[in-house]
Structure 1
């Protein structure tokens, strides 16, 4: 979630906003450190720190801070089991901050950085408020009390085909951490409204698109034309993408595999092809059902592909106000 963008929008529209952050976690908790919510003065919000009694209590505290026009940050050290009756049983530190229009310029700076990807902020308390600077602009590590990772780590997905399943899949992926480049040779195939995380592109040179894709991209092929499916999938298998999926039956896979061997594609890469697509055990072929099944598979593959990435930088113990 682009937390700073929501905060900027709330400040512009309502003159105030709050951010509720999971600052630290000990034991089992509903969300990880770094989970955040943006809250409006009327109580509406985006994001979640895990729901349930914990979230309700923190929203109530934020509401009190709005009412008192309190701009000093509050750190709430919360045991989940004894205090709230939540079965997680762990302990969390929740950081609650409020902002007003004087903070808008800074909030917009961070919102602009979110649009570019992941970034790290160095943080410290300064007269009761959290002061943040980009990691690159802080030269002295003693300045920092804790660090925060912000921005969205979206997996690039090349989706070829804007038929019924393609449309359903783009809608299913709309709230999820994927950046979709959506291709079709028929411009009229695209719907009028497309989710923000997707770009509709008229397909002219599929092999060039495959060649220019980042190494961590997922590729999913479901065009209206089997020869086109074959050409795109073959180009994708020649690269070592984490996921190459092709819509179709086991018999379609068998025919395509024969052709892939004939053109010299490595057997290991052929074996890596996902076809049929989607999680096993779901027989319904309604486009929305297929899209849900494929979305679950993509999320699973994304988890595997990103498991070796460095985790978000944790807060330091000395940060508690």
Structure 2
């Protein structure tokens, strides 16, 4: 039988959510080993906590929680008896721990120096990243696991293919392209987060041009520019990348389970950034 440790590593490498189930305690006529573990995905199980109806119930609960997208750990107490295939009474306590849950689908437009610092950070989080640029030579030779490299002469067309609730980061080498991407994203208006790299001056210019295209103030309010946590200072690419990654983490922690245009504007959740950011 596939060892739960290697199974967990394989599933996490593939980005497939699963549940780690652990026996915390069992008292009965045939007690199982406390600490026994098994891994349960949507379609597979790995290792065992002793079989029987208790294991069947554990699989059922784990898959219900996976299907419902419940991100929290869960402790459940079972009364052993005929209902769980036990001839005598007793109790069992199981811990359900979600693993590999994708907290955010992220689209990064641009492959410049800040993006090259940012994408590996995002890839190390429970996120899936689409990395989009027209310049193949700007991408590093090694693309992190969980990152899809997309080379296209029409980056704006990729906006239509983004999932609802996507986290969108615009940091291309071209201000005109940044503007077109911003307009396309704001017209869709079903993202969870939209950050645009640049200064407050850039924001003012973009807001003026976007208003001329018919975009309303509530739409523009959802654009985070400058983006990143203001508490993280510095102008180095890695410093800017860390501040942006921190903002992404804060946002998906605040908005988990709310991937729609109805979530609060990001400026209500996070303090305004004072950073004047270099463009890619």
Q: Which TM-score applies when normalising by structure 2?
A: 0.64
Cα distance in structure 2, aligned partners of 1:268 and 1:8: 43
Q: Which runs of 5+ in 1 are unaligned?
A: 11-18, 25-71, 76-94, 99-106, 115-119, 137-141, 310-321
Give the direction of change, closer, same or farther, for the CA distance of 1:128–1:272 in structure 2 (3 Å limit).
closer
The aligned runs of 1:172-321 (5 Å cut-off) are 172-240=121-189, 241-306=191-256
2:116 to 167, 188, 192: 167
1:43: which partner in 2? none
- Asked whether the 8 Å contact 1:157–1:217 carries over to 2, the reply is yes
2:16: which partner in 1? none
Cα distance in structure 1, aligned partners of 2:253 and 2:221: 20
Cα deviation digits, residues 228-259 of structure 1 (max 9, x gap): 00100111111221111000000011110100
1:6: which partner in 2? 6
Cα deviation digits, residues 170-195 of structure 1 (max 9, x gap): 11112201100000100111101111
Q: Deviation of residue 266 (structure 1)?
A: 1.7
1:58: which partner in 2? none
Q: Deviation of residue 272 (structure 1)?
A: 1.3
- Output the aligned Cα RMSD: 3.6
Q: Deviation of residue 23 (structure 1)?
A: 6.4
2:33 to 74, 86, 95: 74
Cα distance in structure 2, aligned partners of 1:242 and 1:8: 29
Give the direction of change, closer, same or farther, for the CA distance of 1:273–1:147 in structure 2 (3 Å limit).
same
Cα distance in structure 1, aligned partners of 2:211 and 2:37: 59
Cα distance in structure 1, aligned partners of 2:201 and 2:139: 29
Cα deviation digits, residues 260-314 of structure 1 (max 9, x gap): 00000121010111000100133311001111110000001111220559xxxxx
- Asked whether the 8 Å contact 2:123–2:144 carries over to 1, the reply is yes
- Asked whether the 8 Å contact 1:162–1:190 carries over to 2, the reply is yes
- Asked whether the 8 Å contact 1:182–1:201 carries over to 2, the reply is yes
- Asked whether the 8 Å contact 2:103–2:256 carries over to 1, the reply is no
Cα distance in structure 1, aligned partners of 2:258 and 2:175: 36
Cα distance in structure 1, aligned partners of 2:182 and 2:5: 37
Cα deviation digits, residues 71-108 of structure 1 (max 9, x gap): x8533xxxxxxxxxxxxxxxxxxx3338xxxxxxxx7x
- Is 1:97 paired with 2:47? no
- Asked whether the 8 Å contact 1:73–1:129 carries over to 2, the reply is no
Cα distance in structure 1, aligned partners of 2:42 and 2:100: 10
